Structure 1
Amino acid sequence: MVSSSPTTVQKKPISWSNIFVGAALNLCEVTTLGQPFEVMKTTMAANRSMSLPGAIRHIFSRGGIKGYYQGLIPWGWIEGATKGAVLLPVSSEAEYRLRLLGAMPFLAGIGGGMAGGVAQAYLTMGFCTCMKTAEITRKKDIGPDGKPPKTTLQVFGEIYKNEGIKGINRGVNAVALRQCTNWGSRFGISRLAEQLIRKFTNKKEDDRLAAHEKILASVIGGGLSAWNQPIEVVRVEMQSRSPNPNKPKGLSVLGTLKYVYKEAGMKGLFRGVTPRVCLGIWQTVFMVCFGDYAKEYIADRSQKAKKL
């Protein structure tokens, strides 16, 4: 599909400011409600017989309010800063190139989001996502010998010693597939929602949407992007440190999908989708809506600076 609109496609400049803003937005997102939603959906995906109220009680029993921030420091912060820094410049460049080729905003948004998501997974997210999941799913009880549970850095060192780079990046292909479909959906559906809002409010393509309209579009994009929850369940299962003697070792993405389906059926593949919808909305409002405003602000400042 190509756009018949004569609107000139303007590129939002990529600069160190964009990279910094992406990192800052993602750090703010994960430090507020992002990590609690992450912990809830990961707990449910790893324990597929657990209900949402059960997961909330289980998480609270592992440290009270702090239990909802398991894995945030240092892994969540490292991941948030690096993946946010990658997403905005890569997705912006890919979206701009697709618009130049004549793609409509919806398709360009999908392409830009997919490119940004894949870049996130392979450049920055592999070991952080693996370690966050390990921190959320591993046992933290005092052992029979009376020794306290290992710290997160001790667990990291143990995995690296026993399994090397491959061990701390376990499930990275599933992460890439998740991020590709995540941000392709979030950007694409958000752009489509923006077009529909413009049509409903009789605004032209160049007209600026009101803040509440941008947020509404991001809420729609973030909520509907949870359709790929089976990929997320597979990712969690591949990275989980919960002991399970019945689980075959060395499963691929497809093998893990078959294992989860055989064990828990279609319902198991969508376990944790409710907190995932909330997480998707929260992330999309930050990275699509607030990200657009931040890029516009930086572009305006750059233009003013050139005129001086």
Structure 2
Amino acid sequence: MAAPAPTAASAPVIKKKAFSWQNLAIGAAIQTFEVSTLGQPFEVVKTHMAAHRGDNLAMAIKKTYQRGGMRGFWQGLIPWAWIEASTKGGVLLFASSELEYHARAKFNLSPAWAGLVGGCGGGLAQAYTTMGFCTFMKTVEVTRHKAAGTANLSTWAVAADVFRREGIRGLNKGVSAVAVRQMTNWGSRLGISRLTEKIMKGDDTHRKLTVPERIASAVIGGALACWNQPIEVIRVEMQSQAKAADRPQNLNIWSTAKYIYQRNGVRGFYRGVTPRIGLSVYLTVCMVFGGDQIKAYFAEKSNKE
């Protein structure tokens, strides 16, 4: 005798997460903590390698230290990385949560596919709201020591000069590449992390994962998300202040890709991938695992009151 088909009533109900200023604050706090600890050193080293593709990891670390001592590894942290971190974390958690809900409730997508959709949308929102000018100025801080006449200018003076010469578009140079990077970054991170969690749960889909399992899923998601390193190298080159005689003017994504390939071949697109994997794993653990843990803590505390 055939089993009865599942009815709409038996399907799991996907509840919409209520808008929470607390979640926005949690996202901002986690992201600021991440970038102020290990995040910015990873960022500086991988940006140096992507801009100066002849340098290996050891050379990048050595030159960064020579440029500014230990403080050199946090170059661009204040104010640009802090501005970016304190805003993009909240944007990501809000946008991705909304999109994940609609993807599951209205389109009946699996948690992995919903995570992919939420991550892509959250990353796109990040790029066009807060990350464009911040990412540009962080890259300027890491690469401008090669540009004659700018080494002793304050970061504010450099930003003001760019704005006078090129306006808002100048401060958002490379934002299209940032958008592609963030979409693929967080789509991959959230999607792969959720898929890994599903695999770990096996047949018991309602089982709560242990802390090591959740950390492992975040690590796997963060590491595998670095498949898009070529777009990151393109983004850095578009925003770099390092000068080269054969470097085209008014670069876009395609002309930048062509320029990198002509100078460095296919390997040039993967310069800086090692520190970026470290950054991505650390960031994903902070945002995916840390964000879930902190939100769960406050939710439990609220239910007890």
TM over 0.5: yes
2:116 to 110, 121, 125: 110
Q: What is aligned with 1:95?
A: 100
1:16 to 9, 18, 21: 21
In structure 2, what residue type is equivalent to 1:112? Answer: G
CA distance in 1, matches of 2:112, 2:256: 32
1:151–1:104 Cα change, 3 Å: same
Q: What is aligned with 1:240?
A: 240
Aligned residues: percent identity? 51
Q: What is aligned with 2:162?
A: 159
1:48–1:141 Cα change, 3 Å: closer
1:170 to 168, 173, 187: 173
Q: What is aligned with 2:66?
A: 61
Q: Is the 8 A contact 1:13 1:299 kept in 2?
A: no
Matched, 1:256 2:256: yes
CA distance in 1, matches of 2:124, 2:145: 31
In structure 2, what residue type is equivalent to 1:53? Answer: A
- CA offsets, 1:162-199, max 9 Å, x none? 11101110000000000000000000000011011111
Q: What is aligned with 1:135?
A: 141
Report the TM-score when normalising by structure 2: 0.93
Q: Is the 8 A contact 1:141 1:149 kept in 2?
A: no
Q: Which portions of structure 1, spanning 4 or more consecutive aligned residues, are displaced by more than 4 angstroms?
A: 140-143, 301-305
- CA offsets, 1:253-301, max 9 Å, x none? 1111111111111100010000010000001001111111223334444
In structure 1, what residue type is equivalent to 2:227? Answer: W
Flag structure 2 segments of 5+ consecutive residues without an equivalent: 1-7
Q: Is the 8 A contact 1:222 1:280 kept in 2?
A: yes
Q: Is the 8 A contact 2:99 2:118 kept in 1?
A: yes
Q: Is the 8 A contact 2:100 2:115 kept in 1?
A: yes
1:258–1:131 Cα change, 3 Å: same
Q: CA deviation at 1:141?
A: 9.1
Q: Which moved more, 1:89-98 or 1:133-142?
A: 133-142
Q: What is aligned with 2:225?
A: 225
SS at match of 1:138: helix
Q: Which moved more, 1:29-38 or 1:252-261?
A: 252-261
CA distance in 2, matches of 1:214, 1:249: 46
Q: Is the 8 A contact 2:40 2:77 kept in 1?
A: yes
Report the TM-score when normalising by structure 1: 0.92
In structure 1, what residue type is equivalent to 2:187? Answer: G
Q: Is the 8 A contact 2:120 2:182 kept in 1?
A: yes
CA distance in 2, matches of 1:158, 1:130: 14
The residue correspondences of 1:283-298 to structure 2 (distance < 5 A) are 283-298=283-298
Q: CA deviation at 1:142?
A: 9.2
CA distance in 2, matches of 1:6, 1:293: 27
Number of positions where the alignment pairs a residue of Structure 1 with one of Structure 2: 296
Q: What is aligned with 1:192?
A: 195
In structure 2, what residue type is equivalent to 1:195? Answer: K
Flag structure 1 segments of 5+ consecutive residues without an equivalent: none
Q: Is the 8 A contact 1:187 1:221 kept in 2?
A: yes
CA distance in 2, matches of 1:235, 1:142: 22
SS at match of 2:129: helix
1:119 to 125, 130, 138: 125
1:65–1:156 Cα change, 3 Å: same
CA distance in 1, matches of 2:275, 2:259: 23
